[in-house]
Amino acid sequence: MNGAAPGERTLPERGEAALEVIPSGLSGVKMTPMLSQYFEWKKLYPDCILFFRMGDFYEMFFDDAVKASSILDITLTARDAEKSIPMAGVPWHAVNGYLGRLVRAGCKVAICEQITEPSNKGIVERKVIRIVTPGTYVPEEAGSGGRLAAVCRAGKELAVALLSVETGRLEAGVFSKGEAAALLGSFAPGELLHPASLSLSEWLPLVGDFFPLPREDEFFSPAQGTRRLLQQWKTATLASFGLEDGSPAAGAAAAVLAYLHETQFGAVEYVKRAHPLRSSEHLHLDVTTGRNLELFDTRQEQNGDAPSLYRTLNRCRSTMGRRLLREWMLRPLLDLDEVRRRQDAVGWLVENSGERRALRDLLGECRDVERSSSRLSLGTGTPKDLGAIRDTLYLLPSILPLCADSPLSRWTGGIADFTALREELCAALEDDLPRNRAQGGLIRSGYDAELDEWRGVEAGASDMMDAYVEKVRESTGISRIKPGYNKVFGYYLEVSRAALNAGEVELPGWFIRKQTLVNAERFITQEMKELEERIASAASEISRREGALFDGLTERTLARVEELQHLGSVLSALDVLTSFAEVARERGYIRPELNDGYDIVVRNARHPVVEECLTDSPFVPNSIALRRSEKRIALITGPNMAGKSTYLRTAALLVVMAQIGCFVPAESASMGLCDRIFTRIGARDDLARGSSTFMVEMVETANILNNLTERSLVILDEVGRGTSTYDGMSIAWAVLEHLAEGCGRSPKVLFATHYHELTCLDERYPQIENLSMAVKEDADGIFFLHQVVKGSADRSYGIEVARLAGLPRPVLKRAFELLQRFEKEEKCAAPAQHTGKRKEIPGVRQMTLFEPVRSGIVEELAAMTPDSLTPFRALELLYALVEKSREAIRCENLSSS
Ligand code: ADP
Ligand code: MG
């Protein structure tokens, strides 16, 4: 590969390849040297859009131009008069934004730079210097990017490797299909490498928006991968990283690294090791659960700022901190010691307000050292990135003493000594650094003698030039000589036509005429030329020397990239912990007592996000008690809008918060560690998700029942809502029975339902506790107290809710009549069931065959807010109701026949 960097494709002998790669149908195109150079590179990167540097622009031609102009919404022009060469271009200084948009659309871009200066001999040489892809692109500005993943088979399971190109962190492990899907879903890679023989739709259905990258099977070979990794990291065994030599996880890890190698032409040095990823180390949250619990604002892409747990907890002051908070939230801990260490730190920060404030201010000034050192390692960094590292190192001597004798020293203790590097960077670099190094102004004066000398020459020469012009004026007696400069012939002297015509001047023989203008003549002199050369050579020496010094600084900084990455991770942790302390202080959170038991007992818990959003009325706290050996299943009934879902989510959010080390909104909390949280939220709360909701609902319910463990927390909110009431209730019933019986496992369950029939199950299963939402009724109607009370709701208040929602009076009246009639009919048909509490536990319930269908329709009507419906949605709902009524009538006929 004659000295080419790894991954780099090399050109064939010049000229030989050019003609054969002209796109067919383009025989009319006149081949120029530039075009033939273009085709040579394009042929090597047919899968990429080629960004062909031409002066201040990156130009694209032919199909690339057509494609990019439509994605980027830029003008499509033509290179030639015949319009046979479509062309589009973007200015180099704005290239990052355009690259971001192209990779988000799934394109790969090959950057072909000019590598020689333009001159009048032949054309400029060019070279592809790197490939930008959806998984490897790290945007300059904050924002997510640079996430790459690989999967391959590990027997019946999947090996997964995740690489954050942004921070250089590589993780790998083996997981069940479901776990792999959850992991990938939350990691959200831009690209996913997989063996071509592994069908993604079969192995990982329902996983996110990444771009798949199928590769030949050998690319993932565990044996070869292990060899490559050992070579890369110069170690004897991967066991030192917690990975097994020759394992599929090593194969997957090697694959992501190889792809980075390929696209970044070998710049993978900064990935210093792999970390083992084990499913048993984290509380498992699948993508649906994350969405149901509103952990993050899912509209992040549009910079949405809707309420979410992340938004509530995020008081971070740095981008690094915000990134880590997200990671912690996606992977709550199962390690009690680690949780307690975080809690100790948060507790200390809550107590010590002075230190907390000082730390927050300092962290707010810290820059993203993780991203900057990665970008410098990848060769895409700018002087600003080195400046970011300098600025952050500069703050360290203020940060460290604040943490020294506190639980925070557990994090800061491991920070390397950066004194020498800090001093060097501070002494060498200018305060304000340019984005583009060619602009100069990188190195302070007084740092390097040679640079200072050239700067002196440059400054001196300009002074000498001024003095020279003065001398010429005196010696020629022409006071109206003006000096000037242009690109074509450099410095010149200008004498105005008026002065020349006045006849008062006699031009000396050593004036060399260069240009005649309407109003003036321009001259140069030998002495001026010499001075000019000195200035020019000083300028180029300055830029050469600055470049060399800057490269040296970058190199010495990158020699410590691993320590810098560690520094970044410590600063991010400090930021998140301080953020936790800040919210805890502000919103009165308390430290939960975590233990390895199985019970969750919380006094007066509040929903962290709803609490924050309520402005008119205070949030009503409710207690939670789920005990493995007593009542571990809470069955909650109550009318719509009474607060059932909020109560369920509160429990789950508190578990997440506690296990990331955060304090919780409650009066006291004692919580056994949870290893999984499963949620299933009934279809109607989830309208955005399309029509096959029932199927989705059942797939998700099956997933819960098949995967739950002794330590799981299960949140089921209105299961069965997605289908007809009759089916729905039967399923809800069976699911609850199954959870109660447990199959040897006794998960904690919160189950909200509007099927009152289920409340009789507490008689058969002592582990079920009936809870309901308190409702106050008076002459004006009903009020929701949002209070959870023991016992089941006595009725559903559907019609009252409908009244609150503003349903027209005649409809309410008619609904009320119907309700009374149904209740009477039910009483006649099954008198035993309505004598107080239902004693019989029905196997198949004959009577409820049609009643629930009808009351279901009423409830559905009750839940509607007609004013907020679009006409189309209203029509849709009407169709659905008609369909249901017909079904009810069919049922009625069936049961009476
Ligand atoms: P349900 O699931 O019973 O239909 P939700 O849990 O969706 O009811 O709650 C409906 C609304 O009631 C919430 O959006 C919130 O504004 C309010 N709410 C719920 N619980 C409480 C509470 N404990 N304190 C105050 N307001 C609450
Ligand atoms: Mg609800």
Q: Is 545 in the pocket of ligand 1 (CB under 6 A)?
A: no
Q: Is 863 in the pocket of ligand 1 (CB under 6 A)?
A: no
Q: What is residue 837's predicted lDDT score, i.e. its pLDDT?
A: 40
Residue corresponding to tokens 């355009």: 98
667 Cα: distance to centroid of ligand 1 (angstroms): 20
To which H or E segment does residue 467 belong? helix 449-476
Q: What is residue 830's predicted lDDT score, i.e. its pLDDT?
A: 41
55 Cα: distance to centroid of ligand 1 (angstroms): 61
24 Cα: distance to centroid of ligand 2 (angstroms): 61
Asked whether the beta carbons of 768 and 633 are under 8 A apart, the reply is yes
Residue corresponding to tokens 């506190």: 406
User: Which of 459-468, 487-496, 617-626, 884-893 has the least mean pLDDT?
Assistant: 884-893
Tokens of 328: 């912690």
Q: What is residue 358's predicted lDDT score, i.e. its pLDDT?
A: 96
Q: What is residue 514's predicted lDDT score, i.e. its pLDDT?
A: 85
User: Can you name the residues that pair with 130 across neighbouring β-strands?
Assistant: 111
79 Cα: distance to centroid of ligand 2 (angstroms): 61
Q: Which atom of ligand 1 is nearest to the CA of 639?
A: 3
Q: Is 862 in the pocket of ligand 1 (CB under 6 A)?
A: no
Nearest to residue 728, comparing CAs of 782, 680, 774, 771?
680
Ligand nearest to the CA of 606: 1
Q: Is the pLDDT of residue 696 over 80?
A: no
Nearest to residue 576, comparing CAs of 308, 316, 296, 310?
316
Asked whether the beta carbons of 819 and 855 are under 8 A apart, the reply is yes
Q: Is the pLDDT of residue 302 over 60?
A: no
879 Cα: distance to centroid of ligand 1 (angstroms): 29
Give the pLDDT band (50/70/90) at residue 838.
Answer: very low
**3-class DSSP string for 804-823:** HCCCCHHHHHHHHHHHHHHH
Ligand nearest to the CA of 805: 1
What pLDDT, in 10s, does the model give residues 242-257?
889 999 999 999 999 9
State which of 786, 789, 801, 860 you would mutate to test the pocket of ligand 1, scoring each by most atoms of that ligand within 8 A of its C-beta: 786
648 Cα: distance to centroid of ligand 2 (angstroms): 9
Q: What is residue 843's predicted lDDT score, i.e. its pLDDT?
A: 36
State which of 609, 610, 756 you would mutate to test the pocket of ligand 1, scoring each by most atoms of that ligand within 8 A of its C-beta: 610
Q: What is residue 516's predicted lDDT score, i.e. its pLDDT?
A: 87
| Burial bucket for residue 806 (CB in 10 Å: 0-12, 13-18, 19+) | exposed
What pLDDT, in 10s, does the model give residues 639-685?
888 899 999 999 999 999 999 999 999 999 999 999 999 988 765 44
To which H or E segment does residue 657 belong? helix 644-659
Alpha carbon nearest to ligand 1 atom 19, residue: 643
Q: What is residue 611's predicted lDDT score, i.e. its pLDDT?
A: 94
Q: Is 682 in the pocket of ligand 1 (CB under 6 A)?
A: no
Ligand nearest to the CA of 643: 1
Q: What is residue 686's predicted lDDT score, i.e. its pLDDT?
A: 44
What pLDDT, in 10s, does the model give residues 730-749?
878 888 888 888 667 889 99
479 Cα: distance to centroid of ligand 2 (angstroms): 90
CA distance 553 to 393: 14
Q: Is 610 in the pocket of ligand 1 (CB under 6 A)?
A: yes
CA distance 703 to 182: 12
What pLDDT, in 10s, does the model give residues 545-568?
999 999 999 999 999 999 999 999
What pLDDT, in 10s, does the model give residues 403-451?
999 999 999 999 999 999 999 999 999 999 998 888 889 999 999 999 9
Written as one letter, the residue type at 347 is G
Coil, strand or helix at 680? strand
User: Which of 220-229, 259-268, 836-845 has the least mean pLDDT?
Assistant: 836-845
Q: Is the pLDDT of residue 144 over 50?
A: yes
Q: Which atom of ligand 1 is nearest to the CA of 784?
A: 12
User: Which of 81-90, 138-147, 283-292 has the least mean pLDDT?
Assistant: 138-147
To which H or E segment does residue 174 belong? strand 169-175
Alpha carbon nearest to ligand 1 atom 10, residue: 641
CA distance 650 to 215: 44
User: Which of 182-186, 812-816, 830-834 has the least mean pLDDT?
Assistant: 830-834
Q: Which atom of ligand 1 is nearest to the CA of 649?
A: 6
Q: Is the pLDDT of residue 15 over 60?
A: no
Ligand nearest to the CA of 718: 2
Q: What is the pTM of this model?
A: 0.79
User: Which of 202-206, 459-463, 632-636 has the least mean pLDDT?
Assistant: 202-206
Q: Is 850 in the pocket of ligand 1 (CB under 6 A)?
A: no
User: Which of 606-610, 811-815, 819-823 has the least mean pLDDT?
Assistant: 819-823
**3-class DSSP string for 335-392:** CHHHHHHHHHHHHHHHHCHHHHHHHHHHHHHCCCHHHHHHHHHCCCCCHHHHHHHHHH
Q: Is the pLDDT of residue 805 over 80?
A: no
Q: What is residue 391's predicted lDDT score, i.e. its pLDDT?
A: 96
Q: Is 642 in the pocket of ligand 1 (CB under 6 A)?
A: yes
CA 291 to chain centre: 15
Q: Is 644 in the pocket of ligand 1 (CB under 6 A)?
A: yes
Ligand nearest to the CA of 798: 1
Alpha carbon nearest to ligand 1 atom 9, residue: 643
Kindly report the backbone phi and psi dihedral angles of residue 60, in degrees, each rounded to the nearest multiple of 5, phi listed first: -120, 150
Coil, strand or helix at 708? coil
623 Cα: distance to centroid of ligand 1 (angstroms): 15
Alpha carbon nearest to ligand 1 atom 20, residue: 643
Ligand nearest to the CA of 717: 2
CA 423 to chain centre: 34
Alpha carbon nearest to ligand 1 atom 26, residue: 619
Q: Is 754 in the pocket of ligand 1 (CB under 6 A)?
A: no
Ligand nearest to the CA of 681: 2
Q: Which atom of ligand 1 is nearest to the CA of 642?
A: 3
Q: Is the pLDDT of residue 221 over 90?
A: yes
Ligand nearest to the CA of 787: 1
610 Cα: distance to centroid of ligand 2 (angstroms): 13
Q: Which residues keep their CB under 5 angstroms from ion ligand 2?
A: 645
Residue 168 gets the label, from left (phi > 0), alpha (psi -120 to 50) or beta, of left
CA distance 380 to 264: 10
Q: Which atom of ligand 1 is nearest to the CA of 638?
A: 3
Q: Is the pLDDT of residue 854 over 70?
A: no
DSSP label at 268? -
Residue 200 gets the label, from left (phi > 0), alpha (psi -120 to 50) or beta, of alpha
Ligand nearest to the CA of 640: 1
Q: Is 786 in the pocket of ligand 1 (CB under 6 A)?
A: yes
Q: What is residue 500's predicted lDDT score, i.e. its pLDDT?
A: 76
Q: Is 290 in the pocket of ligand 1 (CB under 6 A)?
A: no
Beta carbons within 8 Å of 29's beta carbon, 6+ residues apart: 22, 35, 80, 84, 85
357 Cα: distance to centroid of ligand 2 (angstroms): 39
Give the pLDDT band (50/70/90) at residue 593.
Answer: very high
Q: Is 619 in the pocket of ligand 1 (CB under 6 A)?
A: yes
Q: Is 641 in the pocket of ligand 1 (CB under 6 A)?
A: yes
| Whole-Å CA distances, 896 to 36, 43, 891 | 85, 76, 9
Q: What is residue 301's predicted lDDT score, i.e. its pLDDT?
A: 47
User: Which of 353-357, 398-402, 519-523, 718-722 has the least mean pLDDT?
Assistant: 718-722
Q: Is the pLDDT of residue 831 over 70?
A: no
Q: What is residue 487's predicted lDDT score, i.e. its pLDDT?
A: 77
In the sheet that 748-752 helps form, which strands lie side by side, from edge to edge? 284-285, 676-681, 712-717, 748-752, 633-637, 768-778, 781-790
Asked whether the beta carbons of 149 and 225 are under 8 A apart, the reply is no
Q: Is 38 in the pocket of ligand 1 (CB under 6 A)?
A: no
In the sheet that 126-132 helps form, which strands lie side by side, from edge to edge? 77-78, 86-91, 57-61, 49-54, 109-114, 126-132
719 Cα: distance to centroid of ligand 2 (angstroms): 11
Q: What is residue 501's predicted lDDT score, i.e. its pLDDT?
A: 76
**3-class DSSP string for 712-727:** EEEEEECCCCCCCHHH
Written as one letter, the residue type at 86 is P
Q: Return mean pLDDT, the chain.
A: 84
Alpha carbon nearest to ligand 1 atom 13, residue: 643
| 506/400: higher pLDDT | 400
CA distance 96 to 508: 55
Q: Is 620 in the pocket of ligand 1 (CB under 6 A)?
A: yes
Asked whether the beta carbons of 858 and 819 are under 8 A apart, the reply is yes
Alpha carbon nearest to ligand 1 atom 18, residue: 643
